[in-house]
Structure 1
Amino acid sequence: MRWGNGGEDDVSGAGAYTHMTLLSSTTEGMHNLFRLSSKASIEGQYFKPRMDRELLSTYGKGLIATTGCPSGEVQTRLRLGQYEEARQAAADYRDIFGAENFYAEIMDHGLGIERRVMGDVIRLAKDLGLPLVATNDLHYTHAHDATSHAALLCVQSGSTLDDPNRFKFDADEFYLKSAAQMRQLFSDHPEACDNTLLIAERCDVKFDESANYMPRFPVPEGRPRRPGWSRRSRPDCATATRTASRPRCRSAPTTRSASSSRWASPATSSSSPTSSTGARTTASAWGPGADPAPARWSPMR
């Protein structure tokens, strides 16, 4: 999953929204990831859900983070020639998640935007003692699926393959590469591939399938607790939540200085369909006996 992490100084040059990769390494981390999603949607919503350093610090336990894709804060600052600012941002996140839980991410899909910053990302990793991790975006399974994927993008955007201005990917490398292909691609940095496997082995999340994760809706005295009441109460609850959060959401500026910025965008760089189950999905993630507030919340994904 990719989540917003920047937002300072209009760092992206087009809206101040940057990306970060977050993974849950423990069950506690999984619940924290759900909390981050909910908080970003309820408290940080401004055109898009956003999260900031303070929020990441509060719910960062049990998470593994990386500098993300070229739209991450670190890489964006590197592209703008702001090495010291990029170094400081990476140091901030290292301190938030812990040196063993924050990785400098490198990827190579044959795009100039990635290759322009890779050298600086590696330099920054050495400066701060950050481990490297090699990644590859996955949008389809096989290399030959690139053409079909392009056609699906046309369906999604209402265009045709003959349209030169259609939404498209600038490379055909977004498929599931084998370990051998990844090690050949990053042959100069074998430790980056080793760390990809290490992260996968570290992620150990468990679900209690016997627990009742359904949201709890308060029932007025004298009314029976039945499914019909929950269906009637949910729209009112959602309306109350939107009304309560609107002033804070609307008052947020589009840009702020690095020292005063609070919010960032939890935008995603890959497909992340929004959940249609609303409050039920997020409430389920918190588990029994947790804060009853999640019954009101709507998840970002």
Structure 2
Amino acid sequence: MPGSFVHLHNHTEYSLLDGAVHIKDLIAECSRMGMPAVAITDHGNLFGAIELVMEANSLNKSVAAWNKEHPEGPQKQEVKPIFGCEVYLSPTPIGVKKQLPGRRKYTHLLLLAENETGWQNLVKLVSRSHLEGFYYKPRVDMETLREFHEGLICCTACLAGPLNEWLLNDQPEKAEEALLALKDIFGDDNIFVELQDHGMEEQKKCLPELVRIARKTNTPILATNDVHFLRKEDHDMHDVLICIGTNEKLASPKRMRYSTEVYLKSPEEMREVFRDLSLIH
């Protein structure tokens, strides 16, 4: 749909004690804002898949009936469900249960199923991450990705992603190597360099380098908003949820805090965020 936008990086209540979006509300809000599709990409699991299909089917039936009864009036938007997961990528084979010096225990990687084969492989990846790769989090590794990559679209995720891990440490050449390794697995047509901008200093540091690396390697760019709550005014509620999940108090000065900007923004808001076309073109 011209002028619309599709959110492809979203955390529902199934990102346990981290996401605060109810799937029914997510589908309804996307329809209201004229978005033709939406993905759920919860951390390390696919718990919301069945609910996503059921809620999308329910909404789409009611929308189709409304549009049929009001052919001359404003048409409501059906919403296509997209299955995804933000997996945890280990820097070592998943059988190795230790942290490498100078490396994160894991980075984040966004995977989206583009067809039935992709869905089946996503299920296999997530299952193996829990059964064989669990070390603090359910992890996959590069070889597991290679084994089950078919039908999947890979996006480089948030500040915790495999490119930003190196960019935040001032090693852009390592970030480029990480991207090329993923391109070798998923192919040129199934990988995107993901951009997010919530006004954070770390993002301002990484964004120009992400764009530069994407241009250099001829990799397409994807803008997302890493949605964790539905509306901006839900931030305080989500803040309490994070405190519960991290066993911290609201007044703790060094606790985890999320930006107020990780809500389901409208197409107009997303265009405003990335209005600097010199950055993304």
- Once the two structures are TM-superposed, the CA of residue 54 in structure 1 deviates from its matched residue by 1.2
Report the secondary structure of 1:80's partner residue.
Answer: coil
Structure 2 matches for 1:191-210, cutoff 5 A? Answer: none
Structure 2 matches for 1:145-224, cutoff 5 A? Answer: 145-169=234-258, 171-189=259-277
**Which structure has the highest strand share of the two?**
2
The reply on whether 1:4 has 2:93 as its aligned counterpart is: no
Q: Greater CA deviation, 102-111 or 35-44?
A: 35-44
Could you state the TM-score of these two structures normalised by the residue count of structure 2? 0.62
Structure 2 matches for 1:274-289, cutoff 5 A? Answer: none
Q: Percent identity?
A: 33
Tell me how far apart the structure 2 counterparts of residues 64 and 183 of structure 1 sit (CA, whole Å).
Answer: 23
Structure 1: gaps of 5 or more residues? 194-301
Tell me how far apart the structure 2 counterparts of residues 80 and 167 of structure 1 sit (CA, whole Å).
Answer: 20
- Contact map agreement 1:143 1:175 (CA 8 A) in 2: yes
- Once the two structures are TM-superposed, the CA of residue 112 in structure 1 deviates from its matched residue by 1.1
Report the secondary structure of 1:21's partner residue.
Answer: strand
Tell me how far apart the structure 1 counterparts of residues 217 and 128 of structure 2 sit (CA, whole Å).
Answer: 30
Provide the residue aligned with 1:90 in structure 2: 179
Tell me how far apart the structure 2 counterparts of residues 135 and 176 of structure 1 sit (CA, whole Å).
Answer: 10
Report the secondary structure of 1:71's partner residue.
Answer: coil
Could you state the TM-score of these two structures normalised by the residue count of structure 1? 0.58
Q: Deviations over 1:20-66 (max 9, x none)?
A: 00010111101100101112222223343221111111100000001
Report the secondary structure of 2:139's partner residue.
Answer: coil
Provide the residue aligned with 1:76 in structure 2: 165
Structure 2: gaps of 5 or more residues? 1-84, 93-97
Tell me how far apart the structure 1 counterparts of residues 101 and 90 of structure 2 sit (CA, whole Å).
Answer: 9
Distance 1:125 1:167, change over 3 A: closer
Tell me how large the CA RMSD over aligned residues is.
Answer: 2.5
RCO higher in structure (CA 8 A, sep ≥6) = 1
Task: Give the aligned residue type for 1:5.
Answer: L
Tell me how far apart the structure 1 counterparts of residues 251 and 198 of structure 2 sit (CA, whole Å).
Answer: 24
Provide the residue aligned with 1:53 in structure 2: 142
Tell me how far apart the structure 2 counterparts of residues 156 and 52 of structure 1 sit (CA, whole Å).
Answer: 26
Tell me how far apart the structure 2 counterparts of residues 87 and 167 of structure 1 sit (CA, whole Å).
Answer: 29
Q: How many residues get paired?
A: 192
The reply on whether 1:141 has 2:230 as its aligned counterpart is: yes
Q: Deviations over 1:224-252 (max 9, x none)?
A: xxxxxxxxxxxxxxxxxxxxxxxxxxxxx
- Contact map agreement 1:75 1:86 (CA 8 A) in 2: yes
- Contact map agreement 2:122 2:148 (CA 8 A) in 1: yes
- Contact map agreement 1:103 1:133 (CA 8 A) in 2: yes
Q: Deviations over 1:130-155 (max 9, x none)?
A: 00000001111111111222233334
The reply on whether 1:23 has 2:128 as its aligned counterpart is: no
Distance 1:192 1:22, change over 3 A: farther
Report the secondary structure of 1:22's partner residue.
Answer: strand
